[in-house]
Amino acid sequence: MEQLIDSIPQKRQDYLQWIRVQQGSIMKLVAVEEVCYFQAGDGYTTVVTREDELLISKPIKDLDDDLDPNRFWRIHRGTISNVSQIDKVSLSMPAGAPSR
C-alpha cells in the first residue's frame, strides 16, 4: 500500500510566483498572476501584462517547467498563456480554406 501511495504524483507547491525583470539598474518584480502571456523571442522571453511588455532572459522551456500547469497553458511552442487572463478565443480559418 505504501508503494502505491508513493507512486501517486504529488502536486508541486513551489511553482513560480514572481518574475524578476532587470531594467537597467532597477529590478522589477511582477506577480505571475498579472502576466497575460509569455512569448519566446531570439534569446529572450517577452512577459506581457495588461500594462507592460518586459523582456527576461529565461527561456520559455524553463518557464513552462516552473509555472503551474493548471493556470498556464502552452498554447504554441513559443507562447504560454495565463488561462485566467483569457477573455475570449477567436477561431480563424486559414486564407483559402473552405468555410463550413
Other residues' Cβ atoms within 10 Å of the Cβ of residue 55: 13
The H-or-E segment that residue 35 falls in is: strand 35-40
Residues sharing a CB contact under 8 Å with residue 70, sequence separation 6 or more, in sequence order: 83
Predicted confidence (pLDDT) per residue in 17-58, tens digit: 999 998 889 999 999 999 999 999 988 999 999 999 999 999
- 18-84 has which CATH code? 2.40.50.40
Backbone angles phi, psi at 59, to 5 degrees: -65, 150
Tell me the mean pLDDT in the region 60-76: 92
One-letter amino acid at 6 equals D
State the Cα–Cα distance between residues 77 and 84, nearest whole angstrom: 20
Q: Which residue has the cell 475570449?
A: 88
Checking if the pLDDT of 68 tops 60, the result is yes
